[in-house]
Amino acid sequence: MKNSDKIDYGDRMNYFQRMLIEDKRIYNEINEIDEFQRERGEFVCRYITKSFADSKAFYQIVDETPRKYILKYVLGEYPYPSWGQEVKLSKKEVKKMIVGRDYFDKIIQERKKANA
């Protein structure tokens, strides 16, 4: 085996570290946008998550029609299988997911303050 054929496991670790750093960057960015839009009372550009198997896919609202939001896959190991890279969901369903996440986040923040 030539030196050039050897696998450098350090590079592999660097790849996964870079991937985790990039995922954190993307998450922080969509979370910042989500917070800004929540404060404005807007739903476009907010995100939802879809859990499946041992994974979670993040989808961001990129557009809307009169009755549906158009969401694109932005983060996670892979997109939710039946949704793919882009999905159209009813506004009512998406709003329910976002309002539920906001309510859960509010409860967590209140408990953190109470325990501080």
* pTM of the complete model: 0.84
pLDDT level of residue 116 (50, 70, 90 thresholds): confident
Instruction: Tell me how far apart the alpha carbons of residues 17 and 81 are, in angstroms, rounded to a whole number.
Output: 26
Please give the structure tokens belonging to residue 4: 């050039």
3-state secondary structure of 43: coil
Q: Are the C-beta atoms of 85 and 60 separated by less than 8 Å?
A: no
8-state DSSP, 49? E
For residues 73-96, average pLDDT: 97
Percent of the chain at pLDDT exceeding 70 = 89
pLDDT level of residue 37 (50, 70, 90 thresholds): very high
Res. 60: pLDDT tops 50? yes
Instruction: Tell me how far apart the alpha carbons of residues 86 and 92 are, in angstroms, rounded to a whole number.
Output: 18
Res. 57: pLDDT tops 90? yes
pLDDT digits (tens, 9 = 90+) for 99-109: 999 999 999 99
